[in-house]
């Protein structure tokens, strides 16, 4: 995959994610009038507005890119039914599958948090040792 093709794919996927954030935020705000949902929608709008000048800059740099591909990929992602729902979101919250997914997410958070905590502890330990070594000289 060339760098040009990667950039087109990157911009298209980013635009699709921003469009999804807009739709998710607006839908969440419409259902619950939650400020967090409105914030997600606003972040999506800002993302799309930031991608427009980036695409224009990239288009000026590489003249042979068509806007059709850039717009078609996110629209294709948005129109698919499988992108809109999953069994966990719209299924029974007390099912064993939902409980298993929640347990898996908690386990991943604990593992990642534990690894980051160990890295932070090592960094602080090295900083203390470096300060002690500077004081001894």
DSSP code at position 8 = H
57 and 123 in a single domain? The answer is no
73 and 111 in a single domain? The answer is no
What is residue 6's predicted lDDT score, i.e. its pLDDT? 73
Total number of domains constituting the chain: 2
80 and 92 in a single domain? The answer is no
62 and 116 in a single domain? The answer is no
* CB atoms inside a 10 Å sphere around CB 22: 19
What is residue 66's predicted lDDT score, i.e. its pLDDT? 58
pLDDT along the chain (137 residues), means of 10: 70 82 79 76 84 78 61 61 57 75 86 90 90 82
What is residue 91's predicted lDDT score, i.e. its pLDDT? 65
CA 97 to chain centre: 24
100 and 72 in a single domain? The answer is no
Contact 65, 58 (CB under 8 A): yes
Distances (CA, A) of 50 to 46, 66, 106: 6, 19, 33
Domain housing 102:
88-137
What is residue 121's predicted lDDT score, i.e. its pLDDT? 92
């Amino acid at each position: 995959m060339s760098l040009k093709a990667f950039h087109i794919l990157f911009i298209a996927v980013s635009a699709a994610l921003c469009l999804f954030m807009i739709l998710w935020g607006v839908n969440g705000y419409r259902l619950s009038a939650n400020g967090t949902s409105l914030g997600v929608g606003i972040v999506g709008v800002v993302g799309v507005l930031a991608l427009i000048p980036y695409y224009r800059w990239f288009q000026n740099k590489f003249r042979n890119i068509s806007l059709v591909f850039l717009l078609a990929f996110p629209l294709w992602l948005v129109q698919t039914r499988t992108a809109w729902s999953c069994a966990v979101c719209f299924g029974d919250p007390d099912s064993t599958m939902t409980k298993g997914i929640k347990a898996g997410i908690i386990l991943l958070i604990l593992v990642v948090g534990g690894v980051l905590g160990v890295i932070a502890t090592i960094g602080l330990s090295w900083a203390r040792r470096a300060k002690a070594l500077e004081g001894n000289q």
